[in-house]
Amino acid sequence: MRPRAAAAGLALLLAAACTAPAPPRSEGSTSTAEAAAMSTCKPPEPPVPAETPTTIDVVEEAYYCVFAHHYKGVTVDAEEMLTDGFIALTQELSRSGRDLAVAVMPPLQGDRWKDWQAFEATFRTITDRLPDDVDEKLAVVTLEAMLAGLGANHTTWIHDDPPRHPDFHNGDMYSLGLLTNITSLQAGSDLGGALGPLFVTTVLGGAASKAGLRPGDVIEAVNGESPFVGGRLTSAIKQVYPRYPQTRPVRLQLLRESTGRRWSVELRPGLFQPDLALLQGVTSRLVGDVAYLKVTGFAPQVADRIFRVLSRLGSQRPLKGLVLDMRGNTGGREEEVNRLLGAFAHGKVTGHHCSPDGTCRPAKTDDSVTLLNLPLVVLTDRGCVSACEHFSSAVQALGVGKLVGTRTGGVVFGLPKPYLLGNGTVLQLPTTHHLGVNREEIDEVGVAPDVHLPLTAADVAAGRDPALGKALSLLGSPS
């Protein structure tokens, strides 16, 4: 018996000597016990407890939290959820060289309470035969797979702060030192929506800068694997975005189309200080009499920051139009979206938050904002997700501006709410589903631009931005 199990056994023996034995959970009322389990996860309140190891009890708590609070909770197939978890468990056993004959999926009956009892009993049978340090890893991969199987973005489990390089300082980055036309978010979840070829869009610094890479360089292979096969993005893209503590070098096969040169480089991920301008949430400039603003996210107070920038630019010369570059915008706070939209329209619905029963709560413009009365063009791409898609879809549906670029990412299932689990980790679950102004589906679909203009490697290499050029043309300003 392992030390932890022995201690638990001793505690049970001592308790049994003083009290009457309690009936096993399975002998109680299923409805009462299940209701109690579903009520355990609640929104976090300060102080949030320190994180402790993830156990099968935490997995159980999350399992019932999904049924109680997730938008899909009433329709979730518990058998599929548990099967997804068990598949991940057995894969982890195989990867670690610890597979066991007892690691057999228990028969399920279609009763989520009884099925959980069978699942938990099998999990404990497996972990009783393994070292203590393996237990938590199995619980973690099991829960992650159960949540991933729900198929709802914005379902996240916040645990284990990502490790940082010991020499990390604020503003530092750890990567290969480059960005591509396929974002790291797409690399993790949007393989089907990406368009080839894969090419460098920005050299941030680090290994990529030292190796002489330039924007527009086409990446033909990553560690010998083609990033696109049959027109579809492959998992090779994930190797372009390593995270600490990953240190293995990444070999890139490159093509510089302007010269026809083909060569390969080996880039080792590392820590570096990028250009601070790249870290700004809002950057701006005047292009003739048009204000151009690049907005990377809808962080708190971003709308007011945009208004201040426009006021400053407008003091330099009268503005005749506005281009908001939302390409790569990773989303953020809904109130900032509605506040920014309030600068272009008042008294309008910007989207809907819908419950499983079909009732919808409208999101509305912030009418305390003064109208800008400026023609608007928004630049979009697959990197525009979540709150960015709320904004873009509303701009288009309300007729307050035009969209130029490519379709947005389709990552806007619904606003998540946090729920605290017993080990101090947080489960974020969407409790409603986001629909557009006219109750149209945006999640997984994205928002199509009014003018489709994808960025090419040749454009980037030459310093051209055809989407911006088209935006300026629509606003009547020379590019």
Q: Report if residue 11 sits inside a domain.
A: no
Classify residue 396 by its DSSP letter.
Answer: H
Rounded average pLDDT over 27-39: 63
CATH number at residue 447: 3.90.226.10
Question: Do 395 and 440 share a domain, yes or no?
Answer: yes
Q: Report if residue 202 sits inside a domain.
A: yes
277 pLDDT higher than 80: no
φ and ψ at residue 290, rounded to 5 degrees: -115, 135
Question: Do 142 and 225 share a domain, yes or no?
Answer: no
The three-state (H, E, C) secondary structure of 146-159, written as one string? HHHCCCCCCCEEEC
Please give the angle made by the CA atoms of 186, 459 and 289, to the nearest 5 degrees.
100
281 pLDDT higher than 60: yes
Neighbour tally for 143: CB within 10 Å: 25
Q: For the chain, what's the residue count?
A: 479
The last residue of a domain, from among 250, 272, 294 = 272
Question: Do 361 and 460 share a domain, yes or no?
Answer: yes
Question: Do 259 and 398 share a domain, yes or no?
Answer: no
pLDDT confidence of residue 32: 74
φ and ψ at residue 182, rounded to 5 degrees: -105, 115
pLDDT confidence of residue 191: 65
Report in angstroms the alpha-carbon separations of 175 from 129, 170, 184, 235, 269: 39, 15, 11, 18, 5
Rounded average pLDDT over 171-177: 95
Q: If pLDDT is split at 50, 70 and 90, which confidence band does 41 have?
A: confident
Q: Report if residue 466 sits inside a domain.
A: yes
The helix, strand and coil proportions of the chain, stated in percent and rounded to the nearest 5, come to: 35, 20, 45
Upstream peptide bond of 163 is cis (omega within 30 degrees of 0) = no
366 pLDDT higher than 80: yes
Q: Residues near 371 by Cβ (< 8 Å), separated by ≥ 6?
A: 343, 344, 345, 346
Q: Rg of the chain's alpha carbons, rounded to an integer?
A: 26
Classify residue 85 by its DSSP letter.
Answer: H
CATH number at residue 183: 2.30.42.10
pLDDT confidence of residue 128: 97
The last residue of a domain, from among 218, 240, 272 = 272
Q: Report if residue 91 sits inside a domain.
A: yes
The pLDDT tens digits of the residues spanning 230-266 come to: 989 999 999 999 999 999 999 999 999 999 999 999 9
Question: Do 72 and 105 share a domain, yes or no?
Answer: yes
14 pLDDT higher than 50: no
Neighbour tally for 240: CB within 10 Å: 23
Residue written as token pair 């096993």: 24
Average pLDDT of the residues of the chain: 91
Upstream peptide bond of 418 is cis (omega within 30 degrees of 0) = no
Question: Do 294 and 437 share a domain, yes or no?
Answer: yes
CA distance 338 to 394: 9
Q: Residues near 192 by Cβ (< 8 Å), separated by ≥ 6?
A: 232, 233
388 pLDDT higher than 70: yes
CA atoms within 13 A on the CB side of 18: 4
Rounded average pLDDT over 298-315: 98
Question: Do 296 and 336 share a domain, yes or no?
Answer: yes
Q: If pLDDT is split at 50, 70 and 90, which confidence band does 26 have?
A: very low
The last residue of a domain, from among 151, 181, 208 = 151
Listed range (23-27, 107-111, 324-328, 333-337) with the worst mean pLDDT: 23-27
The pLDDT tens digits of the residues spanning 283-304 come to: 999 999 999 999 999 999 999 9
357 pLDDT higher than 80: yes
Overall domain count for the chain? 3
Question: Do 248 and 341 share a domain, yes or no?
Answer: no
10 pLDDT higher than 90: no
- Residue 116 structural domain: 23-151
Question: Do 75 and 97 share a domain, yes or no?
Answer: yes
Rounded average pLDDT over 47-62: 94
Which one, of 383, 468, 452, lies nearest residue 193 by Cα?
A: 383
Rounded average pLDDT over 182-201: 84
CA distance 128 to 179: 45
Rounded average pLDDT over 102-130: 97
Question: Do 87 and 128 share a domain, yes or no?
Answer: yes
The two structure tokens encoding residue 277: 């301008």
Q: Report if residue 385 sits inside a domain.
A: yes
pLDDT confidence of residue 477: 81
pLDDT confidence of residue 37: 67
Question: Do 91 and 230 share a domain, yes or no?
Answer: no
What is the DSSP track for 56-83? HHHHHHHHHHHHHHSTTTTT--HHHHHH
Question: Do 285 and 146 share a domain, yes or no?
Answer: no
Q: If pLDDT is split at 50, 70 and 90, which confidence band does 394 have?
A: very high
Q: Report if residue 2 sits inside a domain.
A: no
CA distance 207 to 228: 24
Convert 199-234 to b/e letters by CB count within 10 Å (16 or more is b). Answer: bbbbbbbbbbeebebebbbbbbbbeeebbbeeeebb
The pLDDT tens digits of the residues spanning 70-101 come to: 999 989 999 999 999 999 999 999 999 999 99
CA distance 82 to 143: 9
Q: Report if residue 9 sits inside a domain.
A: no
Q: If pLDDT is split at 50, 70 and 90, which confidence band does 23 have?
A: very low
Rounded average pLDDT over 211-231: 96
Q: Report if residue 259 sits inside a domain.
A: yes
Amino acid making up residue 46: P
pLDDT confidence of residue 13: 29
CA distance 221 to 227: 6
pLDDT confidence of residue 3: 36
pLDDT confidence of residue 190: 63
